[in-house]
Chain A
Amino acid sequence: QEKVVTGLVTDANDGIGIPGVSIVVKGTTIGTTTDIDGNYTLSVGADATIIYSFVGYRPQEIVVGDQTQINVILSVETENLSEVVVIGYGTVKKEDKTGSVTSVSSKDFNRGNITSPQDLLVGKSAGVVITSAGGAPGSGSTIRIRGGSSFNASNDPLIIVDGMPIESVGNNVSGSSNALSFINPNDIETFTVLKDASSTAIYGSRASNGVIIITTKQGVKGSPLKVNYSGSISVASPIDYIDVYSGDQLRKIANDNRTLYDPLIYDNLGTENTDWQKEIFRTSVSHDHNLAFSGSEKNIPYRISLGYTDQTGILENTDMQRYTGSLNLNPTFLNNDLKVNMNAKFMMTNNNFGDTGAIGSAVSMDPTQPIYDGNTSSAGYYQWQNYGANLGTPNPVEQAKAVNNKSDVYRLVANLKLNYTLPFLRDMQANLNIATDYTESDGQNNRPTTSPSTLVPSSWGKLSDYTAKNKNNLLDFYLGYNKEFNENHRLDLTGGYSWQHFERESTNYTRSVEDETHPLQVDNDTASETENYLVSFFGRMNYALMNKYLFTGTFRYDGSSRFSEDNRWGFFPSAAFAWKMHEESFLKDVDVVSDLKVRLGWGITGQQDISDNDYPYQAQYISSQQGYYYPINGEFTSTLRPNTYDPDIKWEETTTQNIGLDFGFLNNRINGSVDYYFRETKDLLNLVTIPSGSNFSNRLYTNVGSLENKGIEVSLNVVAISTPDMSLNIGLNYTRNDNKLTKLLLTDDPEYIGVTEGGGMTGVRQITRVGEAAHSFFVNSQVYDANGNPIEGLYDDIAGNGGVISGDNANKYIYHNPTAEDIFGFSARFNYKQFDMSTSLRANIGNYVLNQVAAGASYDQMQQIGYWKNMPTYLSETNFVKRQFTSDYFVQNASFLKMDNISAGYTFDKFAGKDINARVSFTVQNVFTITKYDGLDPEVDGGVDDNFYPRPRTFTMGVNLTF
Chain B
Amino acid sequence: VDDLDVKPTDPNKILAGNLGDDPAYMEQTLAKLYASFIISGQGDGDADITSSDDGFFITMRALWNLQTITTDEGICAWGDVGISDLNTQNWSAQNPFLTAVYQRLSLSVTYANDFLNVTAGSTEPDIIQYRAEARYLRALAYYWLMDLFANPPFTTEEDGVGKYFPEQIQRADLFTFIVDELKAIEPDLGEPGSSYPQADKGACWMLLAKTYLNAEVYTGTAQWEECKTYCDKVIASPQYSLATDYRQNFSADNDRGHGNNEMIFAFAEDGINTQGNGGITFIIESSSDATYIRAEDYHGLTSNTNWNGNRARKDLMNILVDTLVVYGNNPVPATDTIFAQSPDGRIFLRQKRSINIPTPSSSGDFGVGVYKFTAKNHDGTQADNYSPTFASTDFPVFRLADAYLMRAEALFNTSGATAAVVADINMIRERAYGDDSGNILASDVDADFILDERAREFYYEGQRRTDLIRFGKFTGGAYNWQWKGGTFNGTSTSNHLNIFPIPGDEISANPNIKQNDGY
Contacts and interface: CB of A to CB of B under 8 A. Distances in A.
A and B associate in one complex: yes
B509 A693 contact: no
Contacts of A530: 8-10
Given A626-B272, A632-B31, A646-B162, A641 B43 contact: no
Contacts of A631: 31, 197, 268, 270, 273-274
A401 interface: no
A692 B32 contact: no
Given A533-B3, A561-B3, A623-B14, A696 B52 contact: no
A765 B388 CA distance: 36
A82 interface: no
A526 B41 CA distance: 14
Interface string B90-118: 10101010000011001101110010000
Interface stretch (B300-308, B431-439, B488-496): B300-308
B508 A689 contact: yes
Given A691-B509, A692-B102, A639 B273 contact: no
Nearest to A643: B13
B165 interface: yes
B103 A630 contact: no
A691 B153 contact: yes
Given A457-B302, A637-B27, A695-B161, A689 B10 contact: no
B89 to A, nearest CB: 12
A761 B80 contact: yes
Contact of B29 (A523, A640, A643): A640
Interface stretch (A576-584, A669-677, A697-705): A697-705
B159 A746 contact: no
B303 A749 contact: no
A800 interface: no
A699 B104 CA distance: 12
B511 interface: yes
Given A620-B16, A689-B508, A386 B290 contact: yes
A457 B387 CA distance: 13
Q: In which size bucket is the chain A interface? A: 35 or more
B28 interface: yes
B9 A531 contact: yes
A368 to B, nearest CB: 20
Given A390-B305, A531-B6, A632-B27, A641 B510 contact: no
Contacts of A65: none
Contacts of B513: 691
B5 A561 contact: yes
B290 A460 contact: no
Given A559-B1, A561-B6, A695-B162, A630 B34 contact: yes
Contact of A627 (B7, B79, B273): B273
Interface string B193-231: 001011000000000000000000000000000000000
B44 A524 contact: yes
Given A457-B388, A692-B152, A523 B44 contact: yes
B226 to A, nearest CB: 28
Contact of B508 (A460, A620, A699, A747): A747
Interface string A524-541: 101111111101000000
A930 interface: no
B124 to A, nearest CB: 14
B163 A746 contact: yes
B81 interface: yes
Given A390-B306, A630-B268, A637 B31 contact: yes
A629 B197 CA distance: 13
Contact of A692 (B14, B19, B53, B106): B106
Nearest to B106: A692
Interface string A407-450: 00000000000000000000000000000000000000000000
A628 B270 CA distance: 10
Nearest to B44: A524
B274 A460 contact: no
A642 B16 contact: yes
Contacts of A761: 79-81
Contacts of B80: 760-761
A637 B31 CA distance: 7
Interface residues of B, number: 102
Given A499-B3, A619-B161, A637-B27, A628 B110 contact: no
A526 B13 CA distance: 12
Contact of B12 (A457, A618, A622, A698): A622
Given A457-B302, A692-B153, A628 B28 contact: no
B132 to A, nearest CB: 14
Interface string A387-419: 101110000000000000000000000000000
Contacts of B79: 761, 883
Nearest to B34: A630
Interface string A793-814: 0000000000110011110000
B35 A630 contact: yes
A615 B13 CA distance: 10
Interface string B130-173: 00000000000000000000001111000101111110000000
A548 to B, nearest CB: 41
Contacts of B38: 630
Nearest to B308: A865
Contacts of B32: 624, 630, 639-642
A521 B388 contact: yes
B78 to A, nearest CB: 9
Given A620-B16, A760-B81, A808-B92, A625 B31 contact: no
Interface string A631-674: 11100111111110111100000000000000000000000000
A772 B83 CA distance: 30
A925 interface: no
Given A524-B43, A647-B162, A759 B52 contact: yes
Contacts of A808: 92
Contacts of A803: 90
Given A692-B102, A694-B162, A697-B50, A621 B16 contact: yes
A503 to B, nearest CB: 8
Nearest to B81: A763
Interface in A748-765: 749, 751-753, 758-764
Nearest to A460: B303
Contacts of A773: none
A94 B320 CA distance: 86
B324 interface: no
A688 interface: yes
B43 A624 contact: yes
A512 B290 contact: no
A633 B106 contact: no
B386 to A, nearest CB: 10
A317 interface: no
Nearest to A702: B163
A694 B107 contact: no
B389 interface: yes
B346 to A, nearest CB: 28
B8 A615 contact: yes
Nearest to A386: B290
Interface string B496-519: 000000001111111111000000
Interface in B349-390: 363, 387-389
A693 B96 contact: no
A196 B41 CA distance: 43
Contacts of A759: 52
Contacts of B3: 499, 501, 533, 535, 561
B30 A749 contact: no
A698 B159 CA distance: 17
Contacts of B7: 615, 618
8 contacts: A529-B10, A568-B4, A620-B8, A620-B14, A630-B38, A639-B42, A745-B508, A758-B52
Q: What are the 9 A-B residue pairs with the smallest beta carbon separation, nearest first?
A: A692-B106, A691-B510, A619-B16, A625-B43, A636-B273, A639-B32, A624-B42, A640-B28, A630-B31
Given A622-B14, A629-B274, A632-B34, 7 more contacts: A390-B304, A520-B388, A622-B46, A630-B35, A632-B30, A692-B506, A753-B504
